[in-house]
Amino acid sequence: MNAPAVDGAPDSGRRRVVVGVAGGIAAYKSCALIRALTESGHQVRVVPTESALEFVGRATFEALSGNPVHTGVFTDVPQVPHVRLGQEADLVVIAPATADLMARAATGRADDLLSATLLTARCPVMFVPAMHTEMWEHPATVENVATLRRHGSIVVEPASGRLTGKDTGAGRLPEPDEIFALASLLLERADALPRDLAGRRLVISAGGTREPLDPVRFLGNRSSGKQGYALARLAAQRGAEVTLVAGAVAGLDDPAAVNVVKVQTAQQMGEAVTKHAVGADAVIMSAAVADFRPATFASSKIKKGAGEPDSIALTKNDDILAGLVQSRNDGNLSAETVIVGFAAETGDEQGDVLTYARAKLARKGCDLLVVNAVGDGKAFEVDHNDGWLLAADGSETALAHGSKALMASRVLDALRPLLPRPS
């Protein structure tokens, strides 16, 4: 029986999660994942392979999960753990998933507790690979990944970057926070990670812009970038090729398998988005772009001085979203490029949030507008959100309260049918 939802989010109560750990150096990172899951109130059973215990000791896994840890099927036989753990789980996450573990899973082996658990699980099963690039790209692994996906499992795209030793390339385990975010999303919504964006190119902007006043000061805003990062992470895990144009964000790690372009100002963001939008199937402007910038930039620090401070003259920044729509109208962008805007609104005596949002959708001319009510601790710097999705065809859908990852999954669901047919 599930405990009541935490923080108002559906299905974020206590759930049964099996964390499988295969034998790779990244096994140590599973400790942070196990801790995050238990701290969220979930009941965690760790099932390592024998070789995983070469990297992290059984006692560590037992202490972190608060549960006994076994690797074979002949312990606790009366409890039939090789069947029960999988049958009773709400989610199985294997992190790291090595090439060998995925080969065994793809061929249906059941020669230890973890592989047996994988055969009996009927909940979402998510493999988070970690291996050297050569192993990840080997045709045998490529086939095993395809087989696992065909069987209904999720195989996460690994990150690129530093591997063991001096190697760099694709095959790095995504950061534990990112695995936790994907696992939490699957607990909120079991079907949140289909591979339905394979072959698509998406450009997503995120975070706030910083408009410099002098070398040490800027005008900024409170956007954390969390919503845009959640969109980019999810789109990549749904198979898309994603460019994330990121302004100032709250210490977020780059999402795995995403091309991240860092910018500071609205002008830089405009240039990067416009460049990468060419040939993209969709552009999602979730960034909080500054409407104004200081009219002048002082090349040395402005001194306090003795008198009253000068006021700051402002000048308008270009509207990137409206510019994209204009480029599409002018034929500089493909007519089929889908353009999505975000609106953070507060109502006032003249109108409520939706009234302003409808006017914004019409004014900007985009295809979809994701609307969040802001103020009173809503939307900015928080992990949960709600809102509405307004479409150019006049349809309006309420987005129920949930994590920013859940919001992202709903936005991508709405976007997908609007995408051009693959050529």
Give the residues lining the site for ligand CTP (CB under 6 A).
266, 285, 287, 289, 291, 317, 319-321, 341-344
Quickly tell me which residue has 């372009």 as its tokens: 261
Task: Give the residue from 8, 50, 52, 51 showing the smallest Cα distance to 34.
Answer: 52
Task: Give the residue from 399, 347, 336, 392 showing the smallest Cα distance to 368.
Answer: 392
d(CA 405, CA 238): 13
Burial class of residue 161, CB neighbours in 10 A (0-12, 13-18, 19+): middle
Minimum Å distance from CB 213 to ligand CTP?
A: 18
Minimum Å distance from CB 22 to ligand CTP?
A: 41
Active-site amino acid positions: 221
Minimum Å distance from CB 282 to ligand CTP?
A: 13
